[in-house]
Structure 1
Amino acid sequence: MFSESRRLRDELRTTHARIAVLEAERNDYLRKDRRAGVLTLDAFREAAAAALRGTQRRGEAAALVLVDIDGFRALNGRRGAAAGDEALAAVAQRLRELVRGGDVVGRTGADELAVVMPGANLAGARGVAERLVAVLEQVGPVTVSAGIAVDSGTGQLDGLMADASAILERARIAGGNRVGAPGRQPTVEPSRGAIGALALALSERDRGTGQHAEQVVALAGAVARRLNLDAEEVERIAAAALLHDIGKVAVPDSILSKPGPLNDEEWSVMRGHSAVGEKILRAVPGLGPVARMVRHGHESWDGSGYPDGLSGHDIPLGSRIVLACDAYDAMTSTRPYRDAMSHEDAVAELAAKSGTQFDPQVVGALLGYLEDRRPVDYAARRSAAAAAAAR
């Protein structure tokens, strides 16, 4: 009888323990944002407030980093809510990898994350924010802006959030893809003069390449607008189109102006120009996203391109646009080693390689634009109509 009673008590304790574990798991599940894998807004506010009270009692510093995804609304409109969720999850994962175990990370808006860093000063918070911006600029699929606020000893979360939000807004106005911090104005986008100077250097190096770039800019801008991209992204893509061949300044004249096909060694040198172009552009503050587009300007939709063998939507959209526009202009231009193709043959080539070399959506937008801008030959139409009626 005694052993039976003890067995029942043990089973009861085991059941209570299991219930406690399940309850803890349930609470943890309810506190986590399922898309970002970080605390929900309510849970973040609760945990962050507690952390700030602790730093205030100990007389320690604390900092808050507010992170916002650049162009999030445009991304959702262009590729759907699922793409936005994927981007948010990617940013949250990178942020979690950069913060410390005691930091509090949460989702505070549709495209916004925040981290409270107990015991961190401005330099420590800035280091985390700048590493996050740099990593995302390198790997994509999106860039972010960040605003930093430092606790002055009040321990008030709302005040920190308001300060960080105001600084973040300045970073966004300056062009995004940067960190704003107290006492430091975010640098603005590189002037048109810097981009123009690089384009001039390319044109002086090879006049034909410079003229080709101008044609690609016109096509790429038209395609980007046709895809309903926002003005900021259109401008970045236009810059990538203008400078997509900037790496050719490092290619020897003997290869660049060779009147015949390149051999394997020469082709290897030529293929390296996109990576060289990226290095040149990354030396210009604020041109990181453009540099990434230039690096991947020869990736193919099916993964057979270079330098990194990216495929599909892993290739920056700007790179996919420039690739198709570059190909069309190259095919319809006379080169030292071949005559220009007709418009009809170039269009057929683009259509044939849609889904392999080229993004089908980009090809559709480019062909639609080319069709719209071609002059209508009304005389030919009347003749064709008359011939059809006669038959």
Structure 2
Amino acid sequence: MIASTTPAHAPLRRLSEAALSACSEAGLLAAFAAETRAALPVDAVEVLVPASADVPGVAHVVATARSLMLDETRTVTELGVDCATRLDARSALLVPIAWAGAVRRVAILARRCEQVWSHDETAIAETLANQVALGLARLESQHRGVAQTERDKALARAAHALNESLELQAVLDTLAREADLAVGGDVAGVYLLQGDGTALATAGHNCPPEWYGYRLSPGEGIAGQVLATDRAVVTSAYRQDMPLPATIALPGVLSGVGVPMCWNGSLRGALSVGFLDRRVIAPDDLGVLEAIADLAVVACRNAEAYDVVRTAASTDALTGLLNHGAMQVRVREEIARAARDGQPLCCVLIDLDDFKRVNDELGHPAGDALLRRVADALREEVRPYDQVARYGGDEFVLVLPGTEEGVARAVAERVRERVLNGAPQLDGSSIGNCSLGVSSWELPMSADDLLAAADRALLLAKRTGKARVAVATPDADEELERLQHADASPAAVQALAAAIEARDDYTREHSEQVVRLASGVALLLGLTADAVARVSSGALLHDVGKLAIPQEILRKDGALDDHEWRVMAEHPVLGEGILRRLPQLAALALIVRHEHEHWDGSGYPDGL
């Protein structure tokens, strides 16, 4: 399923349910139009039958089986005057709705303003189209009046089962099972084409363990013949009719049937079902297998599109690591697994020392390069099943399942050495070293507790010299509290606020208004006096990150351009970093980081 962090999740789920339950094409297409408008910024949605539509763009989509994006200069030409006028379209996206191997409908998504369609928007639109195609294929199957009731039930069951997951492997596993059951087979397998021309045994039903992972050469067996000819293959004398694989991975098969699987315009694999007795494969058996394969192809396209959307939603663009939100999910998953299996779990929080100097003295490209090098170093240091994320700004986090505290500390020390060895040089010395905090999970700690413990250890490492590893323990907490109390100064908040005001004379009045609103909400929530004071101080300093914003951006007359806005939008993260480095104000760091988040997830920097 689409991860809950993606805005299209709810519309996709609702449309998926409609595809399974709709009683008419009109009702299903109405649901498609409504959910498309809910998932994407479009003003009109219309679905056309290619044979009855005199629209040039529709003919193009049918011929290529690919989506077509239209800007204002092409809208009237490709849609025709009548259609463009009816939809009041200045930009449009035409999406194929295909099943049974052909484009059967074309959806037109129209906007009344000129706007480029992004890759993610196109992927979501195609996923929605694939969902409605699944429903239309189901309705068509019902309307055909399939002769045998059992085959009808098999198709309906397969349609339902194939739509239960958006994970490709789960879809293929379901396909093998449902195809085998539908035609009364003994074994079934799905082979996917690989880059070297072989076909990998990927998903099966009643297949022995040694079958999985077998690479089928072109032309070998039923599936190899299907992939060599791109046509269905039927045999009642398997061993006599077929060139046998070099290794007989499915012994005992005497007859069988295989069909091709094509999506996104190319042959992608083959589905085959084998029988342990000699039998004549009836045309109805072949027909139902092809119908199930067609349903599976739609589900496979959905799964691939979902994977693209999910990856984009969970990946940090600069480093390619997991982002903050995705890591929060992974930490919770790993804690649940550790609790269930009784296994250890550790977390390592990493913060680059003096990273601001890298940006200030070597330039932002050097800072970005350093972040990418650190990300590469972390990937090289961990195991395939460990989790690595850019937690925000110059912070990274490792989640190490099945790892004791001592091992996690050794990992942290190796990471520190790697980062130091890759740090840039300035005036003969390295800058961009790192401090690390290690925490170990135990009941009843939550994900927030585990990360907070690592954060306290990290802060202790910073306070005691930087470029070192600290481990979260009760003694470490006591030492950190002693250090914080030793130089705590309430006046520090006012002093820093004055520095902000001196740099940006708009800030003071604005910050005081934020203080009034934030402290008022804190009081309404019944927070303690200390908590209200922290909220008020955080509100007063919420723009402290502007101290690091270039003056030409901060005092620019008129609107900021896209680049300038991206720089400005970094100020909550910069503010967090400034406060973390001031022990007496470190407790305000997360408040400042999240001051610009919105209740509906549209804020920044983390979209909470």
TM bin (shorter chain)? 0.3 to 0.5
TM-score (norm 2): 0.29
- Structure holding more helix per residue: 1
TM-score (norm 1): 0.44
User: Greater RCO between the two (CA within 8 Å, min separation 6)?
Assistant: 1
